[in-house]
Amino acid sequence: MAENEPTRVSLYRQVDQAGLSPDSTFKFHCYAGLACFNRCCQAPTIVLSPYDLLRLKQALGIPSREILSRYTIMGNEEASNLPLVFIDAYRSPKGGCPFLSSKGCAVYAHRPAACRLFPITMGSQFTDQGVVDHYFCRRLDYCRGFDTEVQWTLASWLADQGFAEYDQGRREWLEILLKTGLQGPVEARGHDLVAIVAYDLDEFRRMVFEPGFPGVQPLDDRDRAELGKDDLTLLKFGYRYLKSIL
């Protein structure tokens, strides 16, 4: 691991840049013919939500524990001290996202939310109205994708990239992180359980079906059948469980 790999990250920092509204416009078009194609994937800092990992699990067809060990590193969210998972872009001597191929992203259809957003970045806050998101346009000096006449609004870009599905899948996790951060950092001894529930669906499923598992609600046969076969149902159950223990 490189010395500059992330260890503690805040989900929201005030930046000296105006935020974007849904109607804000920007010009951008990325394609394989650009001289900078794939350069932004050489040293990315990509936070993976539990839903991102669920989609990568679907794409790769391997257990969640194997994805975590082969492709990611663990860090902490700054305010809550809860575990965050990052794509490990520093494991290979060559560097770069482990899903990057000569033709581009090898998991493009299942790419994480942060990759879908680019060149848009976002930060989130927990307020009296719940989770509020702030969007910004990140203009990298080397990126030629901005040298185009293809224009987007923020709303049309999010729709084109299929961001809504990913946002919905991670929204409760954002709420857990941000609300916990307002209450103060969680002690380190709780990290392993939170990491399993949020990120290791296969291990969490095994825990749920153990006798005496302290769930958030009694489970009938139908509930158990759904949790046994559907990862998204299990993930949502995990969110409820985390809310109950945190």
The predicted-structure confidence for 37-68, as pLDDT tens digits, reads as follows: 999 999 888 999 999 999 999 999 999 999 99
pLDDT of residue 125: 87
pLDDT band at 186 (very low <50, low <70, confident <90, very high): confident
Q: Examine the pLDDT at 93 and tell me if it is beyond 60.
A: yes
pLDDT band at 16 (very low <50, low <70, confident <90, very high): low
DSSP 145-196: GGSSS-EEEHHHHHHHTTHHHHHHHHHHHHHHHHHHHHH-PPPGGGHHHHHH
Q: Examine the pLDDT at 13 and tell me if it is beyond 70.
A: no
Query: Based on the number of CB atoms within 10 Å of its own CB, is 123 exposed (0-12), middle (13-18) or buried (19 or more)?
Result: middle
Q: What would the pLDDT profile of 207-244 be if each residue is shown by its tens digit?
A: 999 888 887 777 888 888 999 999 999 999 999 999 99
pTM to 2 decimals? 0.90
Cα(190)–Cα(243) distance, integer angstroms:
13
Pairing of strands 151-153, 8-9: unpaired
List of residues 6+ apart from 180 with CB closer than 8 A: 79, 80, 82, 186, 246
CB atoms within 10 A of CB 77: 21
Please state the domain extents for the chain: 8-183
Phi and psi based region of residue 196 (left: phi greater than 0; alpha: psi -120 to 50; beta: remaining) = alpha
Q: Examine the pLDDT at 185 and tell me if it is beyond 80.
A: yes
Q: Examine the pLDDT at 11 and tell me if it is beyond 80.
A: no
